[in-house]
Structure 1
Amino acid sequence: LTNLESLNLDSCKIGDEGLANLTGLSLLKSLELSDTEVGSSGLRHLSGLTHLETLNLSFTLVTDSGLKKLSGLTALKSLNLDARQITDAGLSALTSLTGLVHLDLFGARISDTGTNSLRCFKNLQSLEICGGGLTDAGVKNIKDLPSLTLLNLSQNCNLTNKSMELISGLNALVSLNVSNSNITNDGLPYLKPLKNLRSLSLESCKVTAAEIKKLQSTALPNLVSFRPE
């Protein structure tokens, strides 16, 4: 199997010792390890997979300390770290992965301080940080990621209309989710420059469907999906 390029072990009963069997798969480009018993010590077996472009470690036992072992996988374009035990320290260990295009930190506990590491990922097109630890201060570092087309900051209940103002410069955005936050109708006008926006989710915010429809008809002609609707 030395020519294998894609391996999906999602939900399989595999742990750290099992990953030793992957060391010879040097041509591997995609590896799914989500919902397995893989932890930090097992990641050392991945350090030689230098062609790896996609890695999913969501719902694993991997912690911040283990992520340092991924720092040499500079071909990575997509990384899923949707795991509650991942924090700012783990993200800072990954700043060498400057080629990342998709970064999923959905359930990770990333704070405003942690977003400083995002400055290293100038090629990001997709970013999800939904652990509830962000305020407007953290969004200041996200506003400098010009290639973003998908941004999910839902569940960060302390975000205000200031975040909408900061996001307004991300002209490439196609999908934006800031649900479960303190956004109000007064924040909607900040989205007028986002002419490429097709999907907008502001559920459980102080935002009305009527105001979103008004924004759609006057400024966002490509908006086809929005909540509340």
Structure 2
Amino acid sequence: MYLILILFYTFIPPTVLYYCLKLIYQEKHEYGWHIHYLTKFFITLSFLPILYLPQVDLALVPKSLISVLLFVLTIFFAVLGIKPAIKNKVVFLYFGGIFASFMEEILFRGVIFGLAKAYWNSNLIALIISSVAFGIWHLKNYAWQPDKKWLFIHFLYTGFMYGPIFAGLRILTGDIYLASLFHFLVDTYVALAPKKYRWTILGDRGEKFKDSYTIK
């Protein structure tokens, strides 16, 4: 059962979100954003039954006061970024980064890591599985950036750099909150960084990145 759940969460959510992003960026339907965030919300809700599976540690309970402070610090930074996000007209992109920093950490360093650890009883295997799944998750971005070379590079650095780093932080701290803070800083950089630097994340669309998330 654990293996089936690992496969489900590795492939089904990014496939569904690919079609949501396709609605937004290729077919230009504004309601695509609502479907996109609603889908992420239901994906997050689907984690709840896993809380009751034996031997699966989702790392959601803070292991120390430091973890609680890290969570509070992440929220504090998130609030600070709202004003510049409004000023730069990247509110949807910014809040997407905030949501991703928690939702993706719960999914990959919580659910998939926890299921893999319970199934194989190995932190190393759980790190590898959750990191590769994290890379696969980002293949959904093909819907808005159909550059296969960029997509492959994106898969490599999310699956083989950020994935292991975030999973390592979970192993180090015993929970997801330090990883969530770093994830938040990486993702919100995309929204708040000067346009000329966005290419490091968004590829050749970085500098001219404007889309339906822009407030009119």
TM range (shorter): under 0.3
- Mark the structure with the bigger radius of gyration: 1
Which one has a larger percent helix, Structure 1 or Structure 2? Answer: 2
TM-score by length of structure 2 reads 0.26
Higher relative contact order (CA 8 A, sep 6+): 2
For normalisation by structure 1, the TM-score amounts to 0.25
